[in-house]
Amino acid sequence: MNKTKEWLYFAYSDILTCERILYDEMLSNIVAFHAQQAVEKSFKALIIHKKDKVPKQHDLIRLYKRIEFYLDIDDDSILDDLNKLYIESRYPSSFGLLPYGKPTLEDAKKFYEFANEIFDKVCEILGVDRSEII
């Protein structure tokens, strides 16, 4: 498996994790974390495909700036929300960086749908079918 598909494989595993826990309210923060990871890894797949070195960072906004020429996102405010949740979604003392606290189920669904959309767009740009990833 080439490096690009390897990044997509790991992005897809995060998407599958989201799917399997999406309707469990107790795990909405974990869905948010895996959605962030899926987006990050999808971005990194595109970065590596464009012959750029993959940075050791998790900031979605900074990563997106490296690929925005290739990938259009209608509303990039969700990147900011996911950035806030990268660390905060995993540790109890940090809950609350969303204005209203822990991500709701609706938030989790929105983040999952966004991650899935980004994954599909990156696959399309790269000419990769999901069946090649699984």
Read off the pLDDT of each residue in 4-16 and give the average, rounded to a whole number. 97
Specify whether the CB–CB gap between 38 and 30 falls below 8 A.
Answer: no
- The label of the residue with tokens 């390897």 reads 6
Residue 57, classed as helix, strand or coil, is coil
Poorest-pLDDT segment among 16-20, 49-53, 128-132 = 49-53
Closest CA to 109 of 8, 21, 11: 21
All structural domains of the chain? 3-133 (1.20.120.330)
62-98 pLDDT tens trace: 999 999 999 999 888 999 989 887 655 555 555 545 5
28-58 pLDDT tens trace: 988 999 999 999 999 999 999 998 788 888 8
Q: pTM to 2 decimals?
A: 0.90
**Which residues, including other chains, have CB under 8 Å from residue 79's CB and lie 6 or more apart?**
39, 60, 61, 64, 73
Q: How many Cβ atoms from other residues are within 10 Å of residue 42's Cβ? A: 31
What pLDDT does 96 receive?
A: 47
